[in-house]
A and B are shown apart, each in its own frame.
Chain A
Amino acid sequence: MTLPASISKCRGAFLVALFVGGTTVARAASLLETMDREVSAIYEKSRAAIVKVHNQRLLQIGNLSLVPSHRIGTGFFIDQQGHLLTADTVVAGASHCWIEWNGQNWNARILGRDPQTNLALLQLQSPTNIATPFLPQGNSDEVHVGSMVIVIGFPYDLSSAPVVGFVGGLDIQQGGRVFTTSHIRAGCRLSPGEGGGPLLNTRGEVVGIAVAAHMDDQCYALPINAARKVYSDILQFGQPQHTWVGLGITERRSNSADTDDSQVIVQQIYSNAPAAAAGFCEGDVLERIGTNEVRHSADVLNTMFFRHIGDQLDFTVLRDGHEKKVSLVVAAQPADEPVLVHTVPEFSPFKPSGRPALVPASQEQ
């Protein structure tokens, strides 16, 4: 029996569609299985270097020792010498700090803390110089919106667990509050106890440190490049080196919705600051810092975060329609609140540029 030519054509098309559909479904199933295997492999490979960090605060009243708080978070080794990173709020105010690793409790020494980035550097106290497993570090500059990331931490009193999510953005501010450098916003639902956990990319490299939860299903992570700068400072100088130029800037955005043009304007200048000595004027438009283009406030903060005290910086500014170069030497952030040259500060300068207001998890509960 022979079919008409049109029906034969339809049958051929149907068979082709069936083949394509079947292979697509099979491919999707294969991708999910691959993802499942990869996440499990990354977790298994990394878990040995991830530890539970305990912080015990003691209150001594005469001979009486009270234990008013016992905080638990997550940390991870960054080298074989037992250095480990965690969130600053995990170890803040600690009288005694120890970690749970390899089924044992080990003393840990706090080498340095940075409340502005919510990072702390600890070192395992081992008399036998144990070579600790550590997590390889990636390049957080490669992280982009949509990147898949895995956070591993210790939720509550449970064993370590991975949380998979996708990067939702690189934010310099949340609401009206500004980070010291851009933070990775990931769609990972974290639980109390996972603060300080590593944020891993799909290669199992650390690209960030979970420092805070945001809303119900997101978290903020300090990029590992920024963390590396902070802990290098701690190792070298004993404390983080936050720089200070003495400028207050604001961002003026274009009214056009089609373009992303915006300008960074000098709004305030602090007295006894490098910027005042270098001759900055209110209303200057920042064009470049060194060779880095400046279009947004984030460009300025991200550039300044990685500078060191004593570095010479060349600013290119636009003043009265003409480009002008202004050079200065970066100073250390003053301990006291600086004073503005021309205007009275309406708020503490460190509040907006410092770490956003964090609410301890205990208060949340």
Chain B
Amino acid sequence: MDCKKAQRLFDDLARDRLAPECAVELRQHLTDCTDCRVLQQRAARLQRLLALKRYEHPAPAYFDGFLTEFHRRLLAETQPQIAWWERALEGLDGFLSAESMQVWRYAVATTLGVTMIVGLMWTGLGQSGETANDASAPNVAANAPVIVTPQISPSASVPTLAMAPSQFSGIWRVSPAADELGLAEMPERPPAVMSTELATPQYVLDRISATPVTYDVASVHF
């Protein structure tokens, strides 16, 4: 018996449906052929596992009203789905397309236009107001009894707080009162670098890349 035929008969052998002579011949082949024996053992193991499978049963009263439920779900699936906003747009379109509502169409457009113009004007006024405040800032600083008035220049973002006192002269204004009090001699604050966004640190150690050893002395210029 060849392997191909033997492998076709595994199932019949397991179900005891083979003729005695054929079964004897197949068993003899399985004794001699390792590959077929391994395959037959796997098939037998698979059969045992399949035999262990439990069949599922529906829950009690599952089939009560089955036909009604089937039709309801079928109808729900076949009906086209319309979103709420589509329905709202359809309603609005119908409202505006009505003959009596032609006038309202122009009224709404006019209202929107006026609102936009007012909004733009208001935004522009707000910005000009801020500029006016900035312009008045030096006067306020000069008259107010403030000891140290920081005037943050536009470029003084990160490095300003970390500059040396001598470099503060153009940025920090110290009132006479502060000079008298000696507050201008205050110890310099540590740079505010800890609260500043820093780049990822690069830890420095230069490296002289190894080159092939040479006993030639290079030319030297001095």
Considering the complex, which residues of chain A in the window 237-253 have a beta carbon less than 8 Å from any beta carbon of chain B? 243-245, 247-251, 253
Residues of B within 8 A of A109 (CB): 164
Centre residue among B154, B191, B196, B207 by max chain A CB count within 10 A? B207
Report the minimal beta-carbon distance from A165 to chain B, rounded to whole angstroms.
15
Is A349 in the interface zone, CB < 8 Å from B?
A: yes
Centre residue among B188, B211, B218 by max chain A CB count within 10 A? B218
Residues of B within 8 A of A54 (CB): 193
Report the minimal beta-carbon distance from B23 to chain A, rounded to whole angstroms.
73
CB-defined interface of A185-222 with B at 8 Å, one 1/0 digit per residue?
A: 00000111111100000000000001111110000100
Distance, CA A249 to CA B157, complexed state (A): 52
Considering the complex, which residues of chain B in the window 172-222 have a beta carbon less than 8 Å from any beta carbon of chain A? 185-188, 190-191, 193-194, 196-214, 216-222
Report the minimal beta-carbon distance from A110 to chain B, rounded to whole angstroms.
12
Task: Assess whether A173 is in contact with B218, with CB atoms less than 8 Å apart.
Answer: yes
With CB as the reference atom, state the residue of chain B lying closest to A53: B204
Is A301 in the interface zone, CB < 8 Å from B?
A: yes
Checking A105, A215, A248 against B194 with a beta-carbon cut-off of 8 angstroms, the contacting residue is A105
**Given A72-B202, A213-B208: 11 more A-B contacts, CB < 8 Å:** A107-B191, A156-B203, A176-B214, A192-B205, A244-B222, A247-B221, A353-B221, A357-B209, A358-B208, A360-B207, A361-B203
Residues of B within 8 A of A362 (CB): 202
Task: Assess whether A175 is in contact with B211, with CB atoms less than 8 Å apart.
Answer: yes
Checking B163, B207, B220 against A213 with a beta-carbon cut-off of 8 angstroms, the contacting residue is B207
Checking B164, B165, B197, B206 against A361 with a beta-carbon cut-off of 8 angstroms, the contacting residue is B206
Task: Assess whether B200 is in contact with A212, with CB atoms less than 8 Å apart.
Answer: no
Checking B203, B205, B208, B219 against A249 with a beta-carbon cut-off of 8 angstroms, the contacting residue is B219
Given known pairs A96-B162, A127-B187, the reply for A211 and B220 (CB within 8 Å) is: no
Residues of B within 8 A of A296 (CB): 217
Distance, CA A96 to CA B158, complexed state (A): 10
Checking A71, A89, A297 against B217 with a beta-carbon cut-off of 8 angstroms, the contacting residue is A297
Given known pairs A109-B164, A352-B219, the reply for A70 and B199 (CB within 8 Å) is: yes
Residues of A within 8 A of B210 (CB): 175, 214-215
Given known pairs A56-B193, A125-B164, the reply for A175 and B202 (CB within 8 Å) is: no
Task: Assess whether A89 is in contact with B220, with CB atoms less than 8 Å apart.
Answer: no
Report the minimal beta-carbon distance from A177 to chain B, rounded to whole angstroms.
7
Checking A176, A192, A250, A301 against B203 with a beta-carbon cut-off of 8 angstroms, the contacting residue is A192
Residues of B within 8 A of A96 (CB): 158-159, 162-163, 191, 193
Residues of A within 8 A of B139 (CB): none
Considering the complex, which residues of chain A in the window 33-90 have a beta carbon less than 8 Å from any beta carbon of chain B? 54, 56, 58, 60, 63, 65, 67-73, 87, 89-90
Report the minimal beta-carbon distance from A191 to chain B, rounded to whole angstroms.
7
Is B155 in the interface zone, CB < 8 Å from A?
A: yes
Identify the 8 closest CB pairs spanning chains A and B, nearest first: A175-B211, A193-B203, A192-B203, A349-B221, A73-B204, A251-B217, A195-B205, A105-B190
Report the minimal beta-carbon distance from A208 to chain B, rounded to whole angstroms.
15
Residues of B within 8 A of A157 (CB): 201, 203
Considering the complex, which residues of chain B in the window 139-167 have a beta carbon less than 8 Å from any beta carbon of chain A? 154-155, 157-159, 162-165
Q: 13 interchain pairs (CB within 8 A)? A: A56-B193, A60-B155, A63-B157, A73-B205, A127-B165, A127-B186, A195-B205, A213-B205, A245-B222, A297-B220, A359-B208, A361-B203, A361-B207
Centre residue among B154, B191, B200, B221 by max chain A CB count within 10 A? B221
With CB as the reference atom, state the residue of chain A lying closest to B196: A67
Distance, CA A216 to CA B209, complexed state (A): 10
Residues of B within 8 A of A166 (CB): none
Residues of B within 8 A of A111 (CB): none
With CB as the reference atom, state the residue of chain B lying closest to A130: B187
